Structure 1
Amino acid sequence: MTVKGKAFIGIFIWAFVLWLLLTMSLNVWELVTGVLVALFAAFAGASMLAETKWVDVLVNPAKWLGFIAYLGVLWIEIVKASIDVWMRAMGLKKPDVDAGVVAIQVPNESVESMVMLANSITLTPGTITAKIEPEKKTLYIHWIAVGDKEKWYEDIAAALNRGVRRVLP
């Protein structure tokens, strides 16, 4: 099967499952509408998705489990960062703010995994990914707690990157 065919099938399945979850109905007309919507989504997105590494994620159940595990890791990191920012805002943690832009090297092989990691970092309070340099495998991140340079990767990206690498190389 071609990559575009895999992308088409993957998008169709996920769009139809999403339709079923949103409608929570097995009415024949809603199922037919769901199939039509899923077909439209698959036709519209298959050629774009075929050029990325996400095709393997859509059609590989092991990657689905990795993605679910990644969402758990992301949730934990968001909660930890939220508590940290709250403590700084309330003056319970010193220093209140030691902001700056830090450059961290990441071992990710693909641009897609670097972007997924960058988006995950940006979702956590107190950090914003300012720039990605795929050639150098470097992320530039504005962070409210610059602190010790030796711990930047471990503090900001290590846990999230382990989750990302379960999904994308």
Structure 2
Amino acid sequence: MKKWLPHPLLTPILALVWLLLNNTVAPGHVVLGLLLGWAIPRFTLGFWPERVRIHRPLSLLRFLGVFLFDVLMANVAVAGLVLAGPRSLNPMFVQVPLDLTNALAVSLLANTICLTPGTVSARLSSDQRTLLVHALDCTDPEQLIHTIKTRFEAPLKEIFEC
């Protein structure tokens, strides 16, 4: 079974992403989404460094809710910054020390930061212990580090590294 469906959780997630990208639930797109959701994990199995283990699925759902809320709030904040003009910006690079050791969790953290408007993951240190983050408007780097670690890193650690 694992040979034919190596990542059972990833299949419906990829299908859902396909439907969201196409903005339709037409039967053809549902079938194509499920086919892609099955084929992508199946044919990329050799590229996965380790089997993905989600230790706390409910924490994953809570993390997704927090992430979506933060994306919404960040969109509003960035729109305000754009309307206020470039003089109101305080861009800054911040070094965020990482407690995560799971490669997938580190990747998800970096992507979460990039998908949140106003912040971008710029570089992961060679020892994978520090993430360089660029913030569009940052007046308190310690607060930014605290926010990233509590809202994103801690839940990912709970989900993937218990």
TM-score (norm 2): 0.71
CA distance in 2, matches of 1:47, 1:168: 21
Return the alpha-carbon distance in structure 2 between the equivalents of residues 168 and 135 of structure 1: 19
Q: Distance in 2 between matches of 1:34 and 1:121?
A: 26
**CA deviation profile, 1:25-60 (whole Å, cap 9, x unmatched):** 9xxxx98x99977764454133333x2352x23xxx
Identity %: 18
- Aligned residue in 2 for 1:168: 160
In 2, distance between residues paired with 1:82 and 1:64? 27
Q: Are 1:110 and 2:106 an aligned pair?
A: no
SS in 1 for 2:131: strand
After superposition, the Cα gap between the structure-2 partners of 1:39 and 1:99, relative to the gap in structure 1 and judged at 3 Å, is: closer
Q: Distance in 1 between matches of 2:121 and 2:112?
A: 9
Q: CA deviation at 1:163?
A: 3.0
Cα separation, 1, equivalents of 2:62 and 2:140: 29
Compared with structure 1, are the counterparts of its residues 35 and 147 closer, same or farther at alpha carbon in structure 2 (3 Å cutoff)? closer
Note if contact 2:3-2:42 (Cα within 8 Å) is conserved in structure 1: no
Determine the structure 1 residue equivalent to 2:65: 72
Quick one: distance in 1 between partners of 2:110 and 2:43? 26
Unmatched tracts of structure 1, length 5 or more: none
1:9 aligned counterpart, secondary structure: coil
| 1:128 shift after superposition | 0.8
Instruction: Provide closer, same or farther for how the CA distance between residues 98 and 10 of structure 1 changes in structure 2, counting only shifts above 3 A.
Output: same
Write out aligned runs for 1:1-169 (5 A): 6=2, 8-11=4-7, 14-15=10-11, 18=15, 40-41=39-40, 43-49=42-48, 51-54=49-52, 56-57=53-54, 63-91=56-84, 96-133=88-125, 135=127, 137-169=129-161
**1:7/1:47 contact within 8 Å kept:** no
Uncovered stretches (5+) of structure 2, i.e. residues with no partner = 20-24
> For the pair shown, which has the larger CA radius of gyration, 1 or 2?
1
CA distance 1:134–1:52, shift in 2 (3 Å): farther
1:110, distance to aligned residue in structure 2 (A): 1.9
1: CA distance, partners of 2:136 / 2:80: 12
Length-normalised TM-score, structure 1: 0.68
The question of whether the paired residues in 2 share the 8 Å contact of 1:53 and 1:168 is answered with no
Q: Which has the larger helix fraction?
A: 1
Query: Equivalents in 2 of 1:36, 1:83: separation in Å?
Result: 36
CA distances 1:84-116 after superposition (whole Å, capped 9, x unpaired): 212222339xx7210021111121122221111
Work out the number of aligned pairs and report it.
Answer: 151
